[in-house]
Amino acid sequence: MDLTRKEFDILEALAESRSPLTQRELESRTRHSLGTVNRVLRELKGRGLAEEGRVTADGIRALEPYRAKRAVFIAAGFGSRLVPITLNTPKPLVRVHGVPIISRLIDACLAAGIEEIWIVRGYLGEQFDQLLHTYPMIRFLENPAYNEANNISSALAARGLLSNAYVFEADLLISNPAIIRKYHYASDFLAIRKERTNDWCFRVKDGVITEEMVGGEGDDIWQMVGISYWNEEDGRWLDRDIREVYDSPGGKERYWEQVPLVYRKGHYRVEVRECQDEDIVEIDTFGELKAIDKAYDV
C-alpha cells in the first residue's frame, strides 16, 4: 500500500526505534506537529500498522517498498590527489586508523540491513578481493573505461542495479553510520547546509534540489556529500539516461550525478537529506590524510 509522507515519517521513526515512542518523541523525530502526530497515529492504528508506540508486522510490510535493497560503490578511480599512497593502493582501500575507508561505509550499510553490496572497480581492481574475507557477500563490477572516462563510466557499469539503491563515492570517511537509513520516501542526496562553499553544492527549494554547481552562497546552498539514494522509478530512469548521456558528445567526461541533476533533470525530483560536517569527511589530499591519521605523518 502507498503511504503518505506523514504516514511514512511516523512509521519509519517507529520502525527504527528499539523501544516504544511517545507522541512527544515522534513530534521531535519527525518534526511534525503534535496534532499531526496524534491524527496520523490514530489512522495508522485503525489500519493495523501501528500499536502502542510501535510499528506492527503489517506496518513493516507497508514500509517494504521504501526499503533500501542494495548499495553500489563507485570505486574505480585512481585517486591522484592522494599520491603517493595511491600509487600502490586504490583510494577506497587506504587505511585510516587501521581500517580501509570503504569498510566503514560497508559496515554502515550492513547495520541498516543492506546486504546486497556491489563495488565498481577499475584501478588496481584485484586488490578489492581482500574485502571478501570480511564481507563475503560483496560482488564486483568491472569498469574497463575508468582510465579514459569520468565516473559516469562506473555508473554505466552498474546500470540495472540502481533502483532502491544507495550509490556511494567509495572514498568517504564516515563517522556517523546512522546517516545510512533503511527506508527512504523519495530519491535523495546527502548534503550539508552551508552559508558559503567553494565545493560542489546544490541549490535547494522546499527540500528539493533545483541546481548543481561548483561554489555558491546563500540560505539555499547545500554542500554535496557523495552519497545518494534512488527509488525504484528513478532507478529505471537512470538505466536509460546514463547510457544516453554517456553516448552523447562529451558524455564520457561527465560526473555520473550530473545525469539526474543536470542533463536529464526533468525526469527526477531529488530531495536533499541533511547531515553534518562531523558525520563524514572526504579525504582529498595526502596532507588531509596525515592530519587525520598521524601514522602517515612520518
Longest dimension (CA), the chain: 64
CA–CA separation, 217 and 256 (whole Å): 24
- Range 168-196 average pLDDT: 96
In the chain, pLDDT over 90 holds for what percent of residues?
90
Residue 256 is predicted with a pLDDT of 97
What is the pTM (predicted TM-score) of this model? 0.94
Nearest Cα residue to 138 out of 160, 170, 182: 170
Question: What are 242-281's pLDDT values in tens digits?
Answer: 999 999 999 999 999 999 999 999 999 999 999 999 999 8
Question: What are 200-226's pLDDT values in tens digits?
Answer: 999 999 999 999 999 999 999 999 999
Residue 104 is predicted with a pLDDT of 97
Question: What are 94-124's pLDDT values in tens digits?
Answer: 999 999 999 999 999 999 999 999 999 999 9
- DSSP conformation letters of the chain: ----HHHHHHHHHHHH-SS---HHHHHHHH---HHHHHHHHHHHHHTTSEETTEE-HHHHHHHGGGB--EEEEEE-S--GGGTTGGGTS-GGG-EETTEEHHHHHHHHHHHTT--EEEEEE-TTGGGGGGGGGT-TT-EEEE-TTTTTS-THHHHHHTTT--TTEEEEETTEEES-GGGS-SB-SS-EEEEEE-SEEEEEEEEEETTEEEEEEEEEESTTEEEEEEEEEE-HHHHHHHHHHHHHHHHSTTGGGS-TTHIIIIITGGG---EEEE--GGGEEE--SHHHHHHH-GGG--
Average pLDDT, the chain: 95
Nearest Cα residue to 16 out of 26, 24, 6: 26
Residue 296 is predicted with a pLDDT of 86
CA–CA separation, 219 and 202 (whole Å): 11
Burial of 171 (0-12, 13-18, 19+ CB in 10 A): buried
CATH value of 5-65 in 2.102.10.10, 1.10.3470.10, 1.10.30.50, 1.10.10.10: 1.10.10.10
Q: Where in the chain is the domain with CATH 3.90.550.10?
A: 67-296
CATH number of 67-296: 3.90.550.10
Q: Where in the chain is the domain with CATH 1.10.10.10?
A: 5-65
Question: What are 61-73's pLDDT values in tens digits?
Answer: 999 999 999 999 9
* pLDDT over 80 (residue 1): no
Nearest Cα residue to 148 out of 159, 137, 156, 140: 156
In the numeric block, the cell 575508468 is attached to 146
